[in-house]
A and B are shown apart, each in its own frame.
Chain A
Amino acid sequence: DAGVIQSPRHEVTEMGQEVTLRCKPISGHDYLFWYRQTMMRGLELLIYFNNNVPIDDSGMPEDRFSAKMPNASFSTLKIQPSEPRDSAVYFCASSDPGQGNTEAFFGQGTRLTVV
């Protein structure tokens, strides 16, 4: 398996623009997580899905953030409108705890810069 795949790797956008981050989890993994990494806050869990259904979105910072998982192999994290304070590295991860593998496997991340 190619692992968790995220796109784009880097995104630079202007304040106020819509940003969409994409993730393809490892095939067969039924959990998908979106994390945000910043110097100040470390690694924060934003939202996670089980079998495409959002389970907990309490980590989503504001209504400007939304996430979807239309099928088992694809998820998006959208920020609309974007602000400079959203600049961070966004990681997607997946896991398959039902098989006893509770660890999360991470994608390469998307480095977002909002100017």
Chain B
Amino acid sequence: AQSVSQHNHHVILSEAASLELGCNYSYGGTVNLFWYVQYPGQHLQLLLKYFSGDPLVKGIKGFEAEFIKSKFSFNLRKPSVQWSDTAEYFCALYLNRDDKIIFGKGTRLHILP
């Protein structure tokens, strides 16, 4: 069955630390992958997306993600985090057979100033 798994439920880092949030998916169809961010008290916003082509995708605010087909992974990275990156991050998968998007359970990122 199709699914999205995020390995870390809660991550705490200091400012300037490097970040990597794990995401694995299970799906046999065409892969469209997303990372969304939800700042405290706000709605989900698209951070970046992968449809095809270059597996290294760059998004807003210095975030990037790498699609590794052999590992069924789409990890999110940022070389140096800021306090303002404190938020919840969701990995998501578009199911092209159903035209719907399913989400991982999210990772709460807390950046210490």
A: residues with CB less than 8 A from B are 31, 33, 35, 41-43, 45, 48, 50, 55-56, 91, 93, 95, 97, 100, 102-109
CA A108 to CA B36, docked complex, whole Å: 14
The residue on B at minimum CB distance from A100 is B51
- How many residue pairs link A and B with beta carbons under 8 A? The number is 59
* In-complex Cβ contact of B51 among A48, A95, A102 (8 A): A102
The answer on a CB contact under 8 Å between B101 and A95 is yes
Most buried by B among A100, A103, A105: A103
CA A100 to CA B90, docked complex, whole Å: 21
B: residues with CB less than 8 A from A are 32, 34, 36, 42-46, 49, 51, 90, 92, 94, 96, 98-106
Which chain A residues lie closer than 8 Å to B46 at the CB level?
103, 105
CB distance from A72 to the nearest CB of B (A): 16
Which chain B residues lie closer than 8 Å to A48 at the CB level?
100
* In-complex Cβ contact of B42 among A43, A50, A103, A108 (8 A): A108
